[in-house]
A and B are shown apart, each in its own frame.
Chain A
Amino acid sequence: MAAITPNQLRGPATTEAVRPAYRPVRPGPVATLRSTVREIVTHRRLIGYLVRADLKKRGADTFLGNVWWFLDPLLTMLVYVILVSVILQSTQEAYPLFIFCAILPWKWFSASVADAVTCVTTKEKVIKQVRFPKVVLPVAATVGGLVSFVFGLVPLGAMLIILFPNHISAMILLLPVVAAVQFVLTFAICLLAAAITVFYRDIGNLAGHLLRIWFYLSPALYSSQRIQSIATNHPQLYSIYTLNPFAGLFESYRNLIYYGQPPEWGLLGIVLVEASILVVLSVIVFRRLEPSFAKVL
């Protein structure tokens, strides 16, 4: 309901005089954040439906169906194990587990972002027909990736128990903490990707390449000590490297699962600060662009 006041209704009859009085007022940043949270909470069921619909579709029309949720991260890991330990002759102990700690969270992130890039543009028809808060779409993309992450924990657990039982520790129970930090970061990037793609479809083509570069720049297939030893002469170079949120995230996941140590609290804190600033900015950008979606699509 557009806001009206009785005074405006009784106002002068000439359009020129009426016009400025009805110019829309833009809410401030705090009001924007608050209303966004409210929209997400009141539409949680819609988000649930969207996530479930996405999962249903991923299994549909395939012979193995839901098995793909477990198979997909395993196959990715296999590719890298062949590449790095067989061809490049890495000496890292328990290498499959070493990279699985990074591949699993990365699968979540990259799947969510890839989803987010198209989440608004593929819902073009619905957006032009029904009024609903568009923020539910990137939320659903982020949650959808999280669900596949959770499914990926099953093969991870199986691998730990069967192949590397000496790596199991109680630290694994801290996984949700690291995952929560990653959730904030992923949501922020998804919001930005979703909003900007509406105006520049180029993002869709660019996203895959950017994600791949980001992955190789992050300590996924190698440990960050490797970078540290390369950058011994330039310590500031290593500090810049740790600004990459996935440096802190991958190292933390690896500490919990592979080394049985507490996460890198310092690095994780930096990631949380970065992600929180980014999520606030992204929400404001998204909400600012949202009214134009129906016009531009």
Chain B
Amino acid sequence: MPPAIQVRALGVRYNLRLTRRNTVRQTFMSLARHKGPTHFWALRDVSFRVDYGESLAVIGPNGAGKSTLLQVLAQILEPTEGMIDVQGRISSLLTLGAGFDPELSGRDNIELAGAFMGMDHRDMRARMPGIIEFADIGQFIDAPIKTYSSGMNARLGFSIATAVDPDVLLLDEVLSTGDATFRAKSQERVMELMRSARAIVLVTHDMHWANEFCNRAILLERGNVVAAGHPSDVVAVHEERSAARQSGHQPDPLPAIVDVGLDAVA
């Protein structure tokens, strides 16, 4: 069986001339000046793979490219170079919550979410009661999303993301939202998905989560995979390097794990 996710020599480049220069004047000014870097590699030479039934934790400091990686896996961003192969249905309600359209009710948003994800509407309607029950937001389901608290929004979002029977589930820090009861419930749901041989990629700053619920981990720094392997080992590397950074030292630049990344994770 092919792995659920296979990534090889992946690179994503941002054009700084276009990003955040939203007026014609600024573009001309920056083109005229020829100053500063024109490109920025958010990810480069990233290789790893995730098999069915595995859950991969992606850890690393802010700005390391973790969220970009999830966006590429969700096929929201196109890789600039390298190859990426994801098998099956991807669910990628990364940090959105349920807010597809804040003016519409929760129920309408569930339908809209299904349509955006390319689900059949009958299928989505059949899943609706399950989603509503799991989100547990009571009569608010018929109120516009804009009236929801952030916790309710996250709950409905998680509920939709996991209810569509994804083969590959991409989660970005969503597990830290919601109250204790809902967190326990969502942990249980993630474990359930893992048991039924789904692949999960989880971006997290919660080392406890990485250790406890993931069986692989990669450490991203400046767009490169610098460590890969068992979560406890990778977390140890990450914590050591974070501690060095906090005490003002620059940790040794680790060589990026390039093509050996595949074997290092596998």
* Complex: A272 Cα to B18 Cα, angstroms: 35
> Is B71's CB within 8 Å of the partner chain A?
yes
List B63-121 residues whose CB lies under 8 Å from chain A.
71, 74-87, 90, 92-96, 99-101, 103-104, 108, 111-113, 115-118, 121
Per-position 1/0 for A120-146, Cβ under 8 A of B: 000001111111100000000000000
Q: Which residue of A lies closest to B121 (CB)?
A: A45
Chain B nearest Cβ from A68, distance in angstroms: 16
Q: Which residue of A lies closest to B19 (CB)?
A: A296
* Complex: A200 Cα to B24 Cα, angstroms: 6
> How many pairs, one residue from A and one from B, have CB atoms within 8 Å of each other in the complex?
117
* Complex: A23 Cα to B13 Cα, angstroms: 12
Q: Which of A19, A24, A42, A46 contacts B9 (CB 8 A)?
A: A19
Chain B nearest Cβ from A58, distance in angstroms: 10
Which chain B positions have C-beta within 8 A of A127? 76
Q: Which of B77, B99, B121 contacts A295 (CB 8 A)?
A: B77
Interface residues on B, range: 35 or more
* Complex: A125 Cα to B260 Cα, angstroms: 35
User: Which candidate, A10-18, A159-167, A217-225, is the interface stretch facing chain B?
Assistant: A10-18
Cβ contact within 8 Å between B85 and A1: yes
Which chain B positions have C-beta within 8 A of A24? 78-80
> Is B259's CB within 8 Å of the partner chain A?
yes
Chain A nearest Cβ from B174, distance in angstroms: 11
* Complex: A202 Cα to B95 Cα, angstroms: 29
Cβ contact within 8 Å between A129 and B93: yes
User: Which candidate, A49-57, A91-99, A176-184, A229-237, is the interface stretch facing chain B?
Assistant: A49-57
Q: Which of B15, B90, B111, B116 contacts A126 (CB 8 A)?
A: B116
Contact status of A130 and B93, CB under 8 A, knowing A199-B18, A294-B76, A295-B14: yes
Q: Which residue of A lies closest to B105 (CB)?
A: A56
Cβ contact within 8 Å between A202 and B259: no
Cβ contact within 8 Å between B112 and A129: no
> Is A213's CB within 8 Å of the partner chain B?
no
Contact status of A294 and B9, CB under 8 A, knowing A53-B103, A53-B104, A200-B23: no
* Complex: A127 Cα to B92 Cα, angstroms: 11
Q: Which residue of B lies closest to A130 (CB)?
A: B116
* Complex: A50 Cα to B260 Cα, angstroms: 46
* Complex: A15 Cα to B45 Cα, angstroms: 7
* Complex: A57 Cα to B258 Cα, angstroms: 50
List B36-50 residues whose CB lies under 8 Å from chain A.
45
> Is B22's CB within 8 Å of the partner chain A?
yes
List B13-30 residues whose CB lies under 8 Å from chain A.
14-15, 18-19, 22-24, 27
Contact status of A45 and B92, CB under 8 A, knowing A8-B83, A22-B81, A295-B19: no
Cβ contact within 8 Å between A131 and B115: no
Cβ contact within 8 Å between B259 and A15: yes
| Given A14-B259, A15-B9, A201-B23, 8 more pairs with CB closer than 8 A | A2-B79, A4-B85, A18-B259, A22-B8, A42-B118, A131-B90, A200-B22, A291-B77
User: Mind listing 11 A-B residue pairs with CB under 8 Å?
Assistant: A1-B87, A14-B259, A46-B115, A56-B104, A125-B99, A128-B94, A130-B116, A201-B23, A291-B77, A294-B71, A294-B76
